């Protein structure tokens, strides 16, 4: 993890929040390369679950919602961690994370557990009284449930269909940590998939596979990814089944995403609290309430897993090269164009021209601030799949050298075929 955090800072992926003031712990800012990577992760998800499907639509609901939402969802009542204090070393822990032994001092003597609500409170408007009390949403899901009828009526979908959303969520976590893995402000990618209750098991299994494979298709290695089905006593009271997709982080197997069968809990609750009808007209069973399958993942956790999984150190000609073997859909920069001689105006001009042409369709950069070996190493370290080098010969034969990040193999390609070649390499 230290290597990843140091790379993230050094190369502009992730910075500590408000660093000039000493930093706010467990709060992180995505730098120039990090914002590209994160955006690519979100785009890959959005394409897979919304744009390439006919049974899914998107939504972007507000972070601030009517406070009644959180009563109906159960968050004001029971969205809490149980905290215990170790009587010997006085440290505070989440009871569910430590079992019966203090991880710091080994004592088994704890205080009684106390519930701590994880929702972040705020006040809307100038007066800080109970009527102005509001919450920063602790999950994006509720924005989907309260818009269920709006979407049903406007998108005219029939069961089974789903609504997807990406957005910020906030939880006043008691034990944040492990870099961006657990923070108080984070981004979620959530799907609520509405089905006929009799099809719920089928679609639950379908989404577990679908989501597991999404990570594999984007390059996570199979040995580092697993599914873990929740035991009955781990399940939320309304959930019928839940499976976590877990990644083998340097700090241990940890959840990237949970896929749950939430039954009809959410729509029934919101119907009851709002007095509105939240049913599907052509569903005859279960009073018209569909069941909901919810794949709920974290953007920041995915980004971290993709970074960790892509990081390799390799021995090349007696030197160590650090390389991020990111999937080309995720790589922040797709192509770097590098002039072999920066003092030669013609080479520089051609390199700029090639870069500008590539920039119209993919993130491409120009760099001449070091010798070629160093430029390659820099691009390897941030995961750029291809480097295009322009040399003296290029001016005569109109060919350039394309170097592959993973194999380090070089091909000589004519400039007018370069775009085709690159597209084939990146998106075949």
Binding site for ligand ATP (CB under 6 A): 171, 173, 182-183, 186, 188, 255-258, 296-298, 300-301
The enclosing H or E element of 349 equals helix 345-359
Cα distance between residue 34 and residue 324, in whole Å: 13
CA atoms within 13 A on the CB side of 282: 8
Cβ atoms of residues 123 and 134 within 8 Å: yes
Cα distance between residue 107 and residue 386, in whole Å: 54
How many CB atoms neighbour CB 222 within 10 A? 9
Mapped onto helix, strand or coil, the DSSP state of residue 210 is helix
Closest alpha carbon to 38 in 350, 286, 305: 305
Tokens of 208: 């577990």
Strands 241-249 and 114-117: unpaired
Distance, C-alpha 425 to centroid of its chain: 25
Cα distance between residue 188 and residue 170, in whole Å: 10
DSSP track, 51-113 = IT-SSEEEE---SB--THHHHHHTHHHH-EEEEEEBTTT--EEEHHHHTTS-TTT----BPPP
- Helix pair angle (418-427, 345-359), 10° resolution: 50
Q: Is the Cβ of residue 1 or residue 361 nearer to ligand ATP in the bound state?
A: 1
Tokens 């309260």 -> residue: 146
The torsion angle over the Cα atoms of residues 272, 274, 280 and 285, rounded to 10 degrees, is 10
Cα distance between residue 323 and residue 380, in whole Å: 5
Q: Name the DSSP class of 330.
A: T
Long-range contacts for 121-126 (Cβ within 8 Å, ≥24 apart)? 122/64, 124/64
Strands 14-16 and 28-30: antiparallel
> Hey, CA dihedral for 276, 279, 280, 283, is it positive or negative?
negative
Q: Name the DSSP class of 378.
A: H
């Amino acid at each position: 993890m230290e290597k990843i955090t140091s790379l993230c800072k050094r190369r502009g992926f992730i910075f500590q929040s408000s660093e000039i003031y000493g930093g706010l712990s467990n709060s992180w800012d995505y730098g120039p390369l990090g914002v590209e990577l994160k955006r690519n992760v979100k785009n890959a998800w959005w394409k897979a679950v919304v744009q390439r499907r006919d049974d899914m639509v998107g939504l972007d609901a507000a972070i601030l919602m009517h406070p009644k939402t959180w009563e109906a969802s159960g968050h004001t009542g029971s969205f809490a961690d149980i905290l215990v204090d170790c009587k010997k070393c006085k440290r505070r822990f989440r009871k569910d994370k430590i079992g019966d032994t203090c991880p710091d001092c080994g004592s088994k003597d704890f205080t009684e557990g106390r519930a701590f609500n994880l929702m972040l409170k705020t006040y809307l408007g100038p007066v800080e009284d109970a009527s102005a009390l509001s919450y920063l949403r602790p999950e994006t899901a509720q924005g989907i449930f309260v818009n269920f009828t709006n979407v049903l009526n406007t998108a005219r979908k029939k069961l089974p269909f789903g609504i997807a959303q990406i957005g910020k969520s906030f939880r006043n976590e008691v034990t944040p940590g492990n870099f961006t893995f657990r923070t108080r402000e984070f981004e979620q990618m959530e799907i609520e998939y509405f089905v006929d209750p009799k099809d719920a098991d089928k679609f639950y299994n379908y989404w577990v596979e679908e989501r597991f494979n999404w990570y594999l298709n984007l390059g996570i290695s199979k040995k580092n990814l697993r599914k873990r089905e929740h035991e009955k006593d781990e399940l939320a009271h309304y959930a019928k089944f839940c499976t976590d997709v877990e990644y083998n982080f340097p700090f241990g197997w940890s959840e990237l995403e949970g896929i749950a069968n939430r039954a009809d809990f959410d729509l029934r609750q919101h119907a009851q609290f709002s007095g509105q009808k939240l049913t599907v007209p052509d569903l005859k069973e279960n009073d018209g309430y569909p069941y909901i399958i919810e794949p709920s993942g974290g953007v920041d956790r995915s980004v971290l897993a993709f970074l960790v999984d892509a990081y390799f150190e390799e021995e090349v000609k007696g030197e160590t090269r650090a390389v991020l073997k990111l999937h080309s859909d995720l790589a922040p920069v797709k192509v770097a164009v590098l002039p072999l001689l920066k003092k030669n105006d013609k080479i520089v001009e051609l390199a700029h021209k090639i870069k500008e042409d590539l920039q119209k369709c993919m993130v491409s950069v120009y760099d001449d601030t070091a010798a070629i070996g160093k430029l390659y190493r820099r691009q390897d370290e941030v995961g750029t799949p291809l480097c295009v080098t322009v040399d003296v010969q290029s001016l005569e034969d109109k060919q350039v050298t394309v170097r592959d990040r993973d194999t380090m193999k070089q091909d000589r390609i004519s400039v007018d075929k370069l775009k085709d070649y690159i597209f084939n390499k990146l998106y075949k």
